[in-house]
């Protein structure tokens, strides 16, 4: 299995010749050249943080963390910080609607709060029903504070909507869950939303489509910074075949019109 094919789409949506997005206009569409991926090695990435909030999606969190855990076991040291407003356990329970009065909501104990002074290299913002919560000021403030400091900001699913509300996706290329497309797009009117896209890489801003696409994005991340041998080995261990950045059947499934703004083809 060759994960290089998984990055073919990603390589088509970035160039290392520009540090910020450049817009090229023609009669057919707006072509945007993404910013350069930071010039990093895997050894430059040590501290990983995940933002927690009520009603997040579990796969958005643990999908990307599982392959990274294997990196931490067999490649190099990684440190994980689960960060929330307080140290109270964070529940996946819905904030309002629980039609069947279910009790099927795991909790995640944070390791840190937003007030802690943590040096992070990678910050992951998951999505989930709670991403639509209008009362996420503490979350968006933290993302806005940390984005200039981290080496990579990664959003999974509707986590891009939270990041958009924080203002850190403005003028960047990004994607999101296609089932929530219109809702999330409205959260970031200055974002260059991309569909179809399984994931999008724009400089230090890495975003994925819905839920399980976070796995595809994290394998692109591992391949970029630790190499294809490690990404292929880890993908084989968990028996996952990563999809390419442009492999997005759900755009068509949910009848999403291809966006005018599209990543420029690689020269």
Rg (CA), the chain: 17
Q: How many residues does the chain have?
A: 267
Question: For position 24, what pLDDT does the model report?
Answer: 42
Question: For position 262, what pLDDT does the model report?
Answer: 87
State the Cα–Cα distance between residues 138 and 64, nearest whole angstrom.
Answer: 23
Question: For position 266, what pLDDT does the model report?
Answer: 64
H/E run at residue 215? helix 213-226
The first and second tokens of residue 164, run together, are 């958009």
CATH of domain 3-95+103-263: 3.40.50.880
Beta bridge partners of 202: 205
Q: What is the torsional sign of CA 41, 43, 44, 48?
A: positive
Work out whether strand 122-125 and strand 79-84 pair parallel, antiparallel, or are unpaired. unpaired
The first and second tokens of residue 221, run together, are 């991340």
Cα 261 to chain centroid distance, Å, stands at 19
Work out whether strand 192-193 and strand 173-174 pair parallel, antiparallel, or are unpaired. parallel
Q: Which pairs from 15-20 meet CB under 8 Å and 24+ separation?
A: 15/264, 15/266, 15/267, 19/203, 20/171, 20/203
Question: For position 30, what pLDDT does the model report?
Answer: 74
pLDDT lower than 50: segments of the chain? 1-20, 22-27
Report whether 146 contacts 123 (CB < 8 A). Answer: yes
Question: For position 263, what pLDDT does the model report?
Answer: 84
Question: For position 267, what pLDDT does the model report?
Answer: 57
Report whether 203 contacts 20 (CB < 8 A). Answer: yes
Q: What is the pTM of this model?
A: 0.89
The string of pLDDT tens digits covering residues 148-190 is 999 999 999 999 999 999 999 999 999 999 999 999 999 999 9
Q: What is the torsional sign of CA 222, 225, 226, 230?
A: positive
DSSP label at residue 115: T
């Amino acid at each position: 299995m060759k994960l290089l094919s998984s990055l073919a789409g990603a390589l088509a949506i970035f160039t290392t010749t520009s540090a910020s997005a450049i817009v090229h206009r023609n009669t057919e569409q707006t072509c945007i050249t993404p910013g350069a991926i930071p010039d990093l090695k895997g050894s430059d990435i040590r501290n990983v943080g995940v933002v927690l909030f009520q009603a997040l999606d579990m796969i958005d969190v643990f999908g990307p963390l599982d392959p990274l855990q294997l990196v931490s076991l067999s490649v190099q040291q990684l440190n994980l910080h689960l960060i929330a407003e307080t140290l109270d356990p964070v529940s996946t329970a819905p904030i309002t609607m629980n039609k069947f009065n279910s009790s099927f909501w795991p909790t995640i104990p944070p390791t840190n709060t937003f007030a802690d002074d943590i040096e992070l290299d990678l910050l992951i913002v998951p999505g989930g029903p709670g991403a639509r919560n209008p009362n996420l000021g503490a979350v968006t403030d933290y993302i806005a504070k940390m984005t200039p400091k981290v080496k990579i900001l990664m959003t999974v699913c509707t986590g891009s909507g939270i990041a958009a509300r924080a203002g850190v996706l403005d003028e960047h290329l990004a994607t999101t869950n296609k089932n929530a497309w219109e809702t999330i797009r409205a959260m970031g009117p200055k974002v260059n939303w991309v569909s179809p896209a399984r994931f999008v890489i724009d400089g230090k801003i890495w975003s994925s489509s819905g839920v399980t696409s976070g796995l595809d994005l994290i394998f692109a991340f591992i391949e970029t910074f630790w190499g294809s041998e490690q990404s292929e080995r880890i993908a084989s261990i968990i028996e996952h075949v990563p999809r390419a950045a442009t492999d997005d059947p759900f755009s068509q499934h949910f009848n999403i019109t291809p966006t005018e703004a599209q990543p420029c083809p690689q020269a």
